[in-house]
Amino acid sequence: MSENDPRISGAWETYRNFLDHAPPHQVTQQLRSLSVPEDLIAELIKRHEVETTKILELKEPLGLGRENTTPWYTGPRKGDRNWPAFEAHLRRTLDSDAVDTINEASEKVVAMLDHPATPGFDSRGLVVGHVQSGKTSNFTAVICKAADRGYRMFIVLSGVHNALRRQTQTRLIRDVVRLNPPLWHQITTPEHDFTPPPNPAALLAAKDQHLLLVVKKNAVVLRKLKKWLADARAHLQNCPALLIDDEADQATIATKSINPLIADVLRQLPRVCYVGYTATPFANLLADPVSKEDFYPRDFILSLPRSEDYQGPETLFGRSPLDGEDPADVPGGLDMIREIPDGEVAAMRPAKKADIADFEPGVTPSLRKAALWFWLSTAARRARSGKAQHSSMLVHAHSDTRVHDSYKLPLEQLKLEIGERLAADDDELLAELCTLWETETARVPAYELGERRVACEDVMGLLPQVVADTKIIMDHYRSTNRLDYESGAATVIAVGGNTLSRGLTLEGLVVSVFVRSSDVYDTLLQMGRWFGYRPGYKDLPRIYMPAEMRRWFTHLATVEAEMRGEIDRLLVEHKTPLEMAVRIRCHPKMRVTAPSKQKAAVRAAAAYGGALVESRYFPAAEGVDTKAWHADNADAVTRLLEAGGTDGWFDRSAPSAKPLWRDVPGDHIFRFVSTYRFHEKSIDASANLMAAYIEKRMNTGGLTSWNVGVIGVDPASSASSTGREPEKVTLPGGSVVGTVVRTRLIANSDDDVADIKTLTGSRDEGLDLNLDKVSEVNRAVLQKERSKQQPEKGLVLLYPIDATSKATKPNRADLKVVGPAVVWGAALVFPKPVRGQDVEVEYDYLAADLSRVFPAATDEEPEDVSVLDQDLDTDVPVSAP
């Protein structure tokens, strides 16, 4: 049939309109009942299939498609009203690329929903966003597009605090309701949570209107909603519903009253799709996949994209390399973190609960510097834009509101002191401020992040007004003077806890002081209000926190990147969340989520095949422990090289500065891994797990022999980058090599542990390979060549590092390892198995337990543990300080 056949153009719009009210197979039957010719029906079906394929053609592996459902959503159409209005509104406030990103991402979410005309459905999905990265814009777009296609009731569960519920309701009114008032009926308002409206039959019968409810996750409110829906159940069959659960890991999972009530609400809706939104999905991913009340995302998972301008965990803190990544390509983090010495922490938060009542915080050097930088950076923003803008500083020291209130007086006194000294042109203060400005702007140059440099004199001219404009706000459920960004540009130092750690946006956040004690993944990430977009001031944010907390956030950046890779893997392998669980990496000192939320989780297995594992952290402080550490590693290296000389053979064709021993029996590698000390911060380099993996692989016939190389420099060469001749190291067998230079990241230049980030060079992994015919060298190429040239043979690389290595790059600091002259680094290259699947060892990962899903699923419910059942809008501690 010709594409220009007039029958097609005439029937196509009719066919699409039918699809708004019924799934494709019912539409086909309806067309046949109207005596539409079979060839025309076939052409319409063909055209529909062509249009729907774009749902499945994901440009990036961002989520999981629903393999067993018929594609139905093909994107916005002519005649839509809600999305075009919201899109036009977005284009007035955001750049074109950002709007396109929201459009594409929300399109994928809507495509995962059920066809609204399906007679009955109850599906569960999860959308994983980023902290402070626009999740609300995404689900607003989803609401608009779903409304344009026939969904009629929209319930948004918006956190547990009134402030967040009001904020969400206000945004949805602005972005949805006011753009098309005749199409919407608000059942809730910014001032009032859910109150049962009279005559539900009339509301639900009006097919030309959509219903909007923004509801706090509160037991009293949810009971009223459940009862209202139950009373109206006879009228709900023709009302397809979308329930958006914002902050879906909070209160929804494993609570004694909130969790069952949300499940009860869903049970009242005969056609409902539940979609959870969160940036910290750990509890959701570890929920019981068998129990419907545990809200495991059994139907789909999607990961929202982020733009290059987003400052997330890995941008700010850096992270460790993932499997298959070249360590040199892994971001090291911007130099924006300022460590609060442990000695100051005691003055900034009470040590124990008994100390709360009498706690009086001190204005420590770090807190003072943070406040000064806040005023300087706020003045710089005004100099750049020519006007005052929202600018915020966060002080998050504790969950208890009494601690919040205790900061009021010292911060007010600091503001008064600085204001008076600026008015008096105090030379000492002015010099201190200019020194701070010049030092900080040198560490994070504006031009490197695309921002305009501001001179100190321009900043100083605006500083008195900035200090005068500053308000000190205690934001918690008992305070009467809370954050207000609706009454003009606000310059504010906000002190708070839980009310500021979930969903609520601190506009123009520049400086964060964070000494809150918590060791739980999701709690820590949600408290990271410093994540997000910083248009016009990407170079100015600073975060003040203890050193250990900083290391934990670096680990969390690795966890998050790996978790999103797991979600991508589901899509690539065409698996559903019920067929393959997303694994979450553990930490020896942190918990993934609250114990009550991970009762159904199990330890996951992992394998090292194809991995490069290297030492990255080295003890550096003077002391017996440091000396013993490095002495033990030197002994482990010596024993391995001696074994290479006796049980392997020396490859005389290798470069003299990079000696190589081949065919060293795997037993020697097993002993080396068991004795060489990797630092506990090197989560990937677990000696016990690697040893177990090597042993298990040897038992299956792999890794029975290894090659062992030393990566040094020619000791007879000219002076190295240290500025002097390299140290000479004599190896067993008589080879002499010079020490290599490895320096630490400048961000941890004063730490007791040196973080060098990357040990291996880009070609080191190919030391035992012939690369003469290889034009491009990267990890993928080297893995492929190893499979061809050295199948089932691993490689150990040993690095004699100059303990006094001097830095020559601006983002690096001297190594400064006190004690030994030589620090031995080690890297292990694990080949991929040539035959069969890789062996697995129990690894430090958690995952949902899918063992009961197929075939022996049950309806048994887990025991509930109450972690958030309050009926009041209160700050409830997430973890004890």
User: Within a domain: residue 836?
Assistant: no
Domain that residue 151 falls in: 102-305
Residues in the chain: 881
Looking at the structure, tell me whether residues 619 and 534 fall in a common domain. Answer: no
pLDDT confidence of 876, banded at 50, 70, 90? very low
Which of the listed residues 508, 527, 545 is the one where a domain comes to its end? 545
Highest-confidence segment of 684-698, 819-833, 863-877: 819-833
Mean pLDDT of 762-768: 92
Looking at the structure, tell me whether residues 663 and 702 fall in a common domain. Answer: yes
Looking at the structure, tell me whether residues 156 and 184 fall in a common domain. Answer: yes
Looking at the structure, tell me whether residues 783 and 820 fall in a common domain. Answer: yes
pLDDT confidence of 457, banded at 50, 70, 90? very high
d(CA 726, CA 416): 56
Which of the listed residues 305, 330, 350 is the one where a domain comes to its end? 305
Structure-token pair, residue 53:
């394929």
pLDDT confidence of 812, banded at 50, 70, 90? confident
Question: Across-strand partners of 614?
Answer: 827
pLDDT confidence of 89, banded at 50, 70, 90? very high
pLDDT confidence of 529, banded at 50, 70, 90? confident
Mean pLDDT of 740-751: 82
User: Within a domain: residue 93?
Assistant: no
pLDDT confidence of 870, banded at 50, 70, 90? very low
d(CA 676, CA 796): 12
Q: What is the mean pLDDT of the chain?
A: 85
Mean pLDDT of 53-71: 50
What is the dihedral sign for C-alpha 450, 451, 456, 458? positive
Highest-confidence segment of 289-293, 314-318, 635-639: 635-639
- Alpha carbon distance, N-terminus to C-terminus of the chain: 72
Three-class DSSP labels, 63-123: ECCCCCCCCCCCCCCCCCCHHHHHHHHHHHHCCHHHHHHHHHHHHHHHHHCCCCCCCCEEE
Structure-token pair, residue 713:
């420099």
Looking at the structure, tell me whether residues 595 and 466 fall in a common domain. Answer: no
pLDDT confidence of 65, banded at 50, 70, 90? very low
Which residues does 809 contact at the CB level (< 8 Å), separation at least 6? 743
Per-residue CA distances from 816 to 334, 614, 631, 748 (Å): 22, 20, 17, 11
Mean pLDDT of 549-559: 89
For residue 340, pLDDT over 50 is answered with yes
User: Within a domain: residue 840?
Assistant: no
Looking at the structure, tell me whether residues 25 and 130 fall in a common domain. Answer: no
Contact 776, 785 (CB under 8 A): no
Mean pLDDT of 329-357: 89
Give pLDDT, residue 502.
Answer: 62
Residue type, 837: Q
- CATH code of the domain containing 262: 3.40.50.300
Contact 348, 369 (CB under 8 A): no
Q: pLDDT tens-digit profile of 426-445?
A: 999 999 999 999 999 999 99
Looking at the structure, tell me whether residues 4 and 107 fall in a common domain. Answer: no
Give pLDDT, residue 715.
Answer: 84
Looking at the structure, tell me whether residues 509 and 524 fall in a common domain. Answer: yes
Q: pLDDT tens-digit profile of 666-714?
A: 999 999 999 999 987 776 677 888 888 898 888 888 899 999 999 999 8
Looking at the structure, tell me whether residues 490 and 373 fall in a common domain. Answer: yes
Which residues does 92 contact at the CB level (< 8 Å), separation at least 6? none
User: Within a domain: residue 664?
Assistant: yes
User: Within a domain: residue 629?
Assistant: yes
What is the dihedral sign for C-alpha 398, 400, 406, 412? positive
For residue 36, pLDDT over 80 is answered with no
Please state the domain count of the chain: 5
Looking at the structure, tell me whether residues 591 and 632 fall in a common domain. Answer: no
Residue type, 782: L
Give pLDDT, residue 864.
Answer: 28
Looking at the structure, tell me whether residues 596 and 619 fall in a common domain. Answer: no
Give pLDDT, residue 748.
Answer: 67
User: Within a domain: residue 867?
Assistant: no
Edge-to-edge strand list for the sheet holding 271-278: 184-186, 210-215, 153-158, 241-246, 271-278, 121-128, 300-303
Which of the listed residues 605, 627, 648 is the one where a domain comes to its end? 605
Structure-token pair, residue 521:
């993944």
Looking at the structure, tell me whether residues 541 and 559 fall in a common domain. Answer: no
User: Within a domain: residue 875?
Assistant: no
pLDDT confidence of 879, banded at 50, 70, 90? very low
For residue 57, pLDDT over 50 is answered with no
User: Within a domain: residue 749?
Assistant: yes
Give pLDDT, residue 22.
Answer: 63
